[in-house]
């Protein structure tokens, strides 16, 4: 039975204070791969991404540019949405925190926390990093080269004194510790100890409103206060489901996919807000690593900032998606370069998988007029290949995707592709054509079936190319999932008069652009 349980996945919502960078693309693609995998498993998926538009960082950037924050957000949010669309990111909702339903949801969670007695008015005196939109304790700061104080993320901090609402974070210490120790709540497990240590050293109440600027969600019934940007930002995950109205069965979220720099907000502050509002906490938070440009952080001063949409235009959307998932051990930092993208795309997508499909389908088109070959009995080599591919698509690949070992999922797929290539070379259908045409048909049919299964299994990563291939193969749409592709779709197709068109190359060979060569 296919699973029909709901699966709600979210990315972080990005600050639209500039255009998206490769890190944003990486997160959106990884989330999309997971969402598409879960749909293939037959689950009901809801996938949300968007932009985080309030706060001091947005207000200051707009001021620098002599425009309103709302004008800046309108322009830049459009680039984020366009990036998702360009990269085939299959979100159900692209949320903007400036939207009216989000203001309503944020005020509702505020009132729920207030009703629990967790909010009180006081004065904040301490350090704030505008770049991180985060408060830091003196003890967390480090010293920069010029003796200036820096946040643990290396960003500047400023001394801030203002009247503020506080949230009784300290009330949730024990519950949070228990949650952080729950296996599977925070992954990878390596990020857990840091969060546990942070809670164990004692939680101070959190300043949750600002009075020195007004670009944010208004605190209900408290003139002059806007919510601290993270309170409303985190609430986006509820807004998208209709909070404070009935959220259906998508809450609690199955997975918040975020970067490693914002794990504290998602595994300490957010669960505490939810506990206070008497809502269930998310099932899992995964903190992925950072993507570096040839090992270096991208920055305007180094002049190495890459536009992910331009990268996709140069190399192809699927080549970029494949590269990012294949190259980086999910959870760890990774590095990219044009050479590495070209090498993976040409070697693995082009030579290994593309050629396999091209050779098999081209051979059928040319020698059988495109009519699908019949299976005329199996020998040991055929059975061994079916076993290998079957294990990959029923066990290795889905288990790896399910446990968010995205890189291993692609490796398992590639191993099965290699097995097909070894099979075609050993069976040599081009020789069988003259010596044993019946055996040739079985060999081609075997490959045909395996290629279709492998096209389905890799479709979360390279959706457009997989669709193109599955269309060509004539695989019915309703069978393009892990369950369906194992069924007996081939015989009816082979017995029909389905005629294969001559294949066009799926993965055109990439060259390094002149400036990178």
> Residue numbers of the site for ligand ME8 (CB under 6 A)?
12-15, 23-24, 26-27, 52, 233-234, 236, 258-259, 261-262, 290-291
Nearer to ligand ME8, 24 or 344 (CB): 24
Residue of minimal Cβ distance to ligand ME8: 259
Give the HSE-up count for residue 509: Cα atoms under 13 Å, Cβ half-sphere: 3
What are the φ/ψ torsions at residue 491 (nearest 5 degrees)? -55, -50
> What is the SS3 assignment for 222?
coil
Least Å distance, CB 50 to ligand ME8, is 9
Q: Cβ closer to ligand ME8: 226 or 234?
A: 234
What's the CA gap between 311 and 293, in Å, rounded? 12
Q: How far is the CB of 289 from ligand ME8 (least distance, A)?
A: 7
Nearer to ligand ME8, 91 or 413 (CB): 91
Shortest separation between residue 389's beta carbon and ligand ME8, angstroms: 33
Smallest distance, ligand ME8 to C-beta of residue 308, A? 11
Q: Identify which of residues 155 and 467 has a Cβ nearer to ligand ME8 in the complex.
A: 155
Nearer to ligand ME8, 18 or 224 (CB): 18
CB hemisphere CA count around 369 (13 angstroms): 2
CA angle 516, 26, 187 (to 5 degrees): 135
CB 66 within 8 A of CB 366: no
Closer to ligand ME8 by CB, 14 or 427: give it: 14
CB 459 → ligand ME8: shortest distance, Å?
Answer: 24
**Nearest approach, Cβ of residue 28 and ligand ME8 (Å):** 9
Which lies closer to ligand ME8 via its Cβ, residue 27 or residue 327?
Answer: 27
* Of 405 and 419, CB closest to ligand ME8: 405
Q: How far is the CB of 45 from ligand ME8 (least distance, A)?
A: 20
**Per-residue 3-state assignment (H helix, E strand, C coil) for 17-29:** CCCCCHHHHHHHH
Q: CB of residue 455 vs ligand ME8: minimum separation in angstroms?
A: 29
Q: Is 320 exposed, middle or buried (0-12, 13-18, 19+ CB in 10 A)?
A: buried
| 240 vs 259, beta carbon nearer ligand ME8 | 259
Contacts by 270-275 with C-beta closer than 8 Å and gap 24+? 270/234, 271/172, 271/175, 271/176, 271/179, 272/167, 272/169, 272/171, 272/172, 272/175, 272/176, 273/109, 273/113, 273/167, 273/231, 273/234, 273/235, 275/172, 275/175
Query: Given the complex with ligand ME8, which of 221 and 280 has the nearer CB atom?
Result: 280
Beta carbons within 8 Å of 351's beta carbon, 6+ residues apart: none
Q: What's the min distance (Å) between Cβ of 79 and ligand ME8? A: 12
Strand order in the sheet with 134-136: 134-136, 119-129, 158-167, 206-207
Helix, strand, coil share of the chain (percent; to 5): 50, 15, 35
Vertex 25: Cα angle to 23 and 30 (nearest 5): 95
Shortest spacing between CB 14 and ligand ME8, in angstroms:
4
E runs forming strands in 13-130? 44-51, 93-96, 119-129
Nearest distance in Å: CB 242, ligand ME8: 18
- Cα angle 392-394-400, degrees, rounded to a multiple of 5: 65
CB nearer to ligand ME8: pick between 320 and 470: 320
Whose CA is closest to 342, among 307, 310, 316? 316
- To ligand ME8, the closest distance from the beta carbon of 72 in angstroms equals 14
Question: Residue 13 or residue 281: which is nearer to ligand ME8 going by CB?
Answer: 13
Which CB atom, from 27 or from 441, has the smaller least distance to ligand ME8?
27
Q: What is the CA radius of gyration of the chain?
A: 26
* Beta strands 209-210 and 226-227, pairing class: antiparallel
Contacts of 389 (CB under 8 A, 6+ apart): 416, 419, 420, 450, 453, 454
Strand partners, 51: 14, 96
Give the Cα separation of 440 and 373 in Å (integer): 9
Rounded least distance, CB 131 to ligand ME8, Å: 9
């Amino acid at each position: 039975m296919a699973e029909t349980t709901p699966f709600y996945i979210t990315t972080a919502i990005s600050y639209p204070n500039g255009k998206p960078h490769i890190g944003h693309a990486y997160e959106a693609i990884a989330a999309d791969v997971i969402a598409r995998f879960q749909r293939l498993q037959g689950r009901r998926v809801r996938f949300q991404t968007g932009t985080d538009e309030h706060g001091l960082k947005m207000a200051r950037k707009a001021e620098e540019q002599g425009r309103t924050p709302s004008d800046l957000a309108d322009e830049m949010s459009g680039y984020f949405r366009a990036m998702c669309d360009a990269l085939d990111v299959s979100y159900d909702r692209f949320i903007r925190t400036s939207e009216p339903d989000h203001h309503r949801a944020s005020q509702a969670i505020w009132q729920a926390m207030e009703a629990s007695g967790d909010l009180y008015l006081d004065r904040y005196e301490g350090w704030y990093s505008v770049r991180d939109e985060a408060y830091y304790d003196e003890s967390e700061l480090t010293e920069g080269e010029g003796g200036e104080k820096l946040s643990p993320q290396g960003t500047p901090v400023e001394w801030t004194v203002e009247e503020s609402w506080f949230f009784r974070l300290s009330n949730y210490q024990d519950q949070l510790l228990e949650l952080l120790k729950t296996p599977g709540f925070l992954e990878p497990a390596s990020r857990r100890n840091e969060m546990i240590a942070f809670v164990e050293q004692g939680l101070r109440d959190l300043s949750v409103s600002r009075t020195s600027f007004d670009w944010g969600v208004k605190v209900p019934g408290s003139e002059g206060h806007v919510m601290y940007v993270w309170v409303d930002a985190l609430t986006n995950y509820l807004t998208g489901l209709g909070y404070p109205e009935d959220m259906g069965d998508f809450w609690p979220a199955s997975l918040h996919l975020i970067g490693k720099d914002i794990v504290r907000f998602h595994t300490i502050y957010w669960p505490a807000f939810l506990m206070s509002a008497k809502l269930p906490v998310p099932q899992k938070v995964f903190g992925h690593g950072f993507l570096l440009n040839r090992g270096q952080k991208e920055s305007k001063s180094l002049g190495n900032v890459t536009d992910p949409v331009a990268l996709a235009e140069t190399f192809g959307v699927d080549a970029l998606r494949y590269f990012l998932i294949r190259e980086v051990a999910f959870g760890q930092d990774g590095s990219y370069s044009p050479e590495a993208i070209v090498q993976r795309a040409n070697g693995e997508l082009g030579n290994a998988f593309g050629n396999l499909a091209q050779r098999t389908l081209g051979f059928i088109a040319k020698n059988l007029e495109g009519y699908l070959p019949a299976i005329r009995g199996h020998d040991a080599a055929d059975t061994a290949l079916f076993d290998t591919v079957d294990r990959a698509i029923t066990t290795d690949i889905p288990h790896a995707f399910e446990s968010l070992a995205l890189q291993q999922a692609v490796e398992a797929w590639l191993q099965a592709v290699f097995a097909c290539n070894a099979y075609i070379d050993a069976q040599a259908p081009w020789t069988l054509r003259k010596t044993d045409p019946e055996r040739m048909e079985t060999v081609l049919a075997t490959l045909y079936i395996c290629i279709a299964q492998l096209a389905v299994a890799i479709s979360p990563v390279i959706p457009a190319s997989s669709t193109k291939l599955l269309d060509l193969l004539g695989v019915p749409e309703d069978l393009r999932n892990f369950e369906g592709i194992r069924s007996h779709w081939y015989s009816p197709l082979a017995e029909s008069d389905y005629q294969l068109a001559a294949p066009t190359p799926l993965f055109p060979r990439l060259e390094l652009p002149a400036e990178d060569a």
